Structures are given as structure tokens and as C-alpha cells.
Amino acid sequence: MQRRFTAVAATVAALLFLAAGSWATDTAAPEAKVPVESFTLDNGMRFLVVERPDQTTVSAGWVAHVGSANERPGITGLAHLFEHMLFKGTRTIGTTDIERDLEVIAEQEAIQEELRKHYRRQRERARRGEIEDPFDPASRTPEMIELQSQFDALVEEQRSLMIKDEFDQLYTEAGASGMNAFTTEDLTGYFVTVPANKLELWFWMESDRLYEPVFREFYSERDVVHEERRMRTESTPTGEFDELLSAMFWQSHPYSWPVVGWPSDLRVISQQQAQEFFDTYYAPNNLTAVLVGNFDREKVEVLAKRYFGRLERGAIEPPDVVTLEMTQVAEKRMNAECDCQPQVSVQYHTVPFHHVDSYALDVLAGVLNGRTGRLYKSLVLDQQIATSASASQESNKYAGSFGVGIEAKGDHQPEALELAWYRELERLQNELVPDRELQKVKNQIEADAFRGLQSPFFLLVQLIFYDGLGHWEYLNEWSDLTRAVTAEDIQRVAQTYFAAENRVVGLYDRKAGTVEMEMPDGFDDLPPEVHEMVRTQARQIRQMDDVEALAAMVSAAGEQLEAMESPRKEIMGVLVEVAQQRLAELTDSGEEN
């Protein structure tokens, strides 16, 4: 399967996961604790296991405790690039001739080192004003053109040696499904679901790509990442502005650069830098494996020692992220014009994951969200100045933020949306949330948490995610700590963190000559807090020009729709319709030509 389709599918999966439970009722779900057992190998690798004997499969994965925050200027995007590289195979998977394969990789690296020297001179020429863009193909010297020609020949030779996507094929032939990965600012997770009787295959394949990985097509894959960036950032109406707003928000912390990396860094990252990164952050003492499903605990320990036990502990402990975010002392603002509906984004510096105030901020977001939330009632129903409005507390590992996003109805201006938010904020700061409203929000949060624990796959993803943030036990603590939040706590955090000097405001006006993007029937019925995410995903789908990838997306989603429950089913239905419309446009265009 092409990585472009996989990347879009992964985004859709994340969207559905985050949207789960958006239509929760007032009834609290029964409290549930996850019976997680753990053990640690001698090399420091940890295992979290949850037995589900009633299942016929095992959802399995692992997390590397590394994300874009562990990078530095010059190698931004490397953590995400590794997510791609670890699907390229090993010494035994993905090649017909490993010896020549490794020779080609060495020859490629030698040429790339020469090209990096030329790019150093190109950057100097750009600083002097001799050329505009050091990476513009039109500005390349004859020597660079010749080196690139030699490199391209090696790329073609390597492809002739490769067994493309063999890693995926081996899993598929064994009946596995859902193989994918994701990278965030703080972690990188890998996962797949395998039949219970194929669990040893998972142990062998996953340990092998850590034990003997081969970074095939390293430099070609950078081009894939560039295309991914183009789709997700540069080709979406607000993508580049959102990226700018994030860079404005984080003054000193590494969260300021995007997970996908800066384009200029991706051009010059070397395999040596990648190897050093891998040796440091993909050592077993920086990894946690997670298994949820039908297996025997004792057999799992035996397999873990046999396969993952052969990995050597890292020579050095992965360094911690030490740069703290500077205290913001003045409001920051961005005014943008784009091919988009007028909207506003307001972000505040708050607290990181597992901070005592994060639970009150989560509940505060719940007070604002949903069709019965304050933002929807006030801005969408009463004032009728917005089509959607949402709020969220993002508790990353090292720092956090609280964001409010509002999209205008018709020609209402973003300034009016901003003022409407401040009026709602004043209520939170000056008045206690009534007991009935507070209890309703807590019930919704607990119901969301309970539903997320029922699916083995989503439980796996949550364990990967929270362990990556440093504390998987959050799953078992969430309900109690949320239930303990009081109205006074909500008022206190609203007063503490939502000061004018602690915020960044982005105002998005529609560029002259553009019109509002039409969405399929059913979009307006979706939970308002997912409108922005669905619109973003729809824009990305509409940028796709690969007929085969779109057809595969429609086919795969169609097979899953009937088995889905609300609201996932309705969200996926809207996105499938967008994909079908785009597919029809491309097909009709092809027939006309």
C-alpha cells in the first residue's frame, strides 16, 4: 500500500479515535480499571500486557519514547522520518541481495556527502544574493547535476533489489490487519493486529526491525515526507498559517517546529545522523511493548526474552528535553488571509500531561464543547455567528496548551468570534459552573473513557500513547481525578491560565475572490467539536490526485462503515463521500482527456 494513502488513513484513524464519544449521554458509564500486568527484560525493555481471552486476535505494538521534541535545529523531522524508515525491512526482509543492497546504500551515502558540501556552498550563494533558493533545481551547478544523476542510478539499482512492501505482505498473508504508525511531539508508536496463533510472528518481525534494520531508500523517503508535508500543510487553506501560529506560540520549547520537520533540514539530514538518532532513542531501554488480546502471559514472557532480549541496551541513556518554555509576557497576534471560512484560534499556555490542573482544564473544555456545551449554545444557536466552535486541553509531555477554535457563519468576522469567546470566558472566571452542568460533563468524560477501554485496538493505542507520555497508569486514574474536580477548580484554572498576556490569537479572514468550501450532506449533523478536523481532512482528500489511492480509501472505508457505531460512522460517511466526489472528478477528467 502506498505511503501517501497510509498517511491519510492514519490521520482519519486518529480523527475517529479523538472523536469517539462526542455524543455521550448524561448517564455515567460504570467505572472500569484496566488489568495491566508488566515485566521488564534485562536490557531495560518494558512490556505491558492485557489478557482478553474472549478475543481471537492480539492487538500488539510498541512505543519509542522519542518525538520531534527530542530533535534539534538541523535534524527536525527525523523522528517522523524514522516512522517511515522502519517499514523498509531488515537484512532478511525486503531484499533479494543483502550484500549488494548494503554496498549500494554506502555508495549512495558517499554521493550524498558530496552533495551536502555543494549545498553548503549553495546556502552561502543564497546569503550573498547570487541565487534565491539554495534548493531550487534550476540553481544547481553542473557538478551537482552529475552527482544527482549518479545517485538516481543507484536508487534504481536498489529498487531492482528490493521486495517492495514485504514487511506489510508478510503480515497480510498471516491474516494481520491495521499495521501502521504515528509520530507526535513526544513519542513514536507502531501497531498491528494479528491472529492469536500468529503472535510469535509479531515478536520475530518487530524485534528484527529493531535488531537489524536496513534504512533502504533513506533519501528517496525524504521526498515522500516532502509530499506528505505538501498535502498536510502547504496544500491546505490554513496549514501554513497554523504552522506559523504554533511557532509563535512556543517561544523557546522544541514544540515550536512541526513534527514533519522544516524542509531545509530534511534536505540535508545524513544517514550517519539517522543512525546516531536510532542508536540513542530506539535502544530497548527507551521502548515499551504493549499487547492486548488472547495470549498466555507466561508464553509471552518466553517470546519476549527470546526475540527482544537479543537487543543490546543503549550505550548512553537518552537525554531528557531540558529547554523550558519561557513565560509569555505579552499577547501575540497573527492576521491571515486564506481560502477558508473566517475563523479564530485562541491558544493559552497551560500545563503538561499528568499535572494536577490538567484534569480541571479537561473538564473546563467539556463545559464548552458539544451540542449542549456553552460555545455551541451561545455562538451557534443563540447568536448564530458561528457554524462550529470547540475547545481542548492539549497536555503534552513537557508543556501544555488550551485552544479555542471557532468558525464563522456566513460573513461574520473573526473579530466578532474572538469577542464572543471572551464573553464566555468571563462567565467561567466570574461564576461557578452549576452542579448539574458540572456533573453532566463529568459523566460524558467518564463515558468516553469507559468506551475507549472496551476495544482491544483502542486500548492498545491509549496504552502506547500514555506510556509514551510517561505514565500509562493515567488510564486507571482518569475517572477518579476527573470526578474530584470542583466548580471552584474550574474557576481557578480559568483565572490562572487564561490571561491576555498568556495567549496567542490567530484571525483568519477569507481571501478576496474565494468562496466557502461546500461539505456533503450530513456534515452539519456531526458534533461541532469535530467540524474543524473533518474540514481539514476533507481538504486533504480533495488535494489528492492519485486515483488508485482514492479508490482504495473508498473501498476500505466502505467495508468498515456498517460495523461502525455513532459518531464514527457518521464522520467516516462524510469523508467517504468527499473521497467519492474527488474520485469522480478525477475519473471524469481522465475520460474527457
Domain contains 9: no
- 293 with 368, same domain: the answer is no
343 membership: H or E segment, kind and range: strand 343-349
Domain contains 100: yes
- 476 with 551, same domain: the answer is no
- 317 with 460, same domain: the answer is no
Burial of 249 (0-12, 13-18, 19+ CB in 10 A): buried
How many whole angstroms separate alpha carbon 101 and alpha carbon 210?
18
How many whole angstroms separate alpha carbon 149 and alpha carbon 159?
16
What count of other Cβ atoms lies within 10 Å of the Cβ of residue 411?
9
Domain contains 6: no
Burial of 448 (0-12, 13-18, 19+ CB in 10 A): middle
- 145 with 185, same domain: the answer is no
- 370 with 481, same domain: the answer is yes
- 313 with 405, same domain: the answer is no
- 183 with 213, same domain: the answer is yes
Range of the domain at 439: 332-510
Local confidence pLDDT in tens for the 593 residues of the chain:
233 233 333 443 443 334 333 333 444 455 568 999 999 999 999 999 999 999 999 999 999 999 999 999 999 999 999 899 999 999 999 999 999 999 999 999 999 999 999 999 999 999 999 999 999 999 999 999 999 999 999 999 999 999 989 999 999 999 999 999 999 999 999 999 999 999 999 999 999 999 999 999 999 888 888 788 877 787 778 889 999 999 999 999 999 999 999 999 988 999 999 999 999 999 999 999 999 999 999 999 999 999 999 999 999 999 999 999 999 999 999 999 988 889 999 999 999 999 999 999 999 999 999 888 999 999 999 999 999 999 999 999 999 999 999 999 988 999 999 999 999 999 999 999 999 999 999 998 888 777 777 889 999 999 999 999 999 999 998 888 999 999 999 999 999 999 999 999 999 998 876 666 678 878 877 876 677 678 777 777 876 777 877 887 787 777 667 667 777 788 888 888 888 888 888 887 554 44
Contact present, 364 and 428 (Cβ < 8 Å): yes
Contact present, 135 and 122 (Cβ < 8 Å): yes
Count the domains in the chain: 4
3-state secondary structure of 468: helix
Domain contains 64: yes
- 208 with 288, same domain: the answer is yes
Domain stop point among 491, 510, 529: 510
Predicted TM-score of the model (pTM): 0.85
Helices and strands in the chain: count of H runs, count of E runs: 21, 11
Burial of 76 (0-12, 13-18, 19+ CB in 10 A): buried
- 408 with 284, same domain: the answer is no
Q: How far is CA 77 from each of CA 151, 182, 297, 343, rounded to the nearest angstrom? A: 23, 13, 37, 29
- 157 with 185, same domain: the answer is no
Query: Nearest 5°: phi and psi at 18?
Result: -70, -30
Burial of 270 (0-12, 13-18, 19+ CB in 10 A): middle
519-551 as b/e, with b when 16 or more CB fall inside 10 Å? beeebeebbbbbbbbbbbbbbbbbebeeeebbb
Domain CATH number, residue 265: 3.30.830.10
- 388 with 300, same domain: the answer is no
Domain contains 531: no
- 282 with 402, same domain: the answer is no
Domain contains 54: yes
Domain stop point among 290, 321, 352: 321
Domain contains 103: yes
Domain stop point among 143, 161, 179: 161
Domain contains 7: no
Q: What's the Rg (C-alpha) of the chain?
A: 25
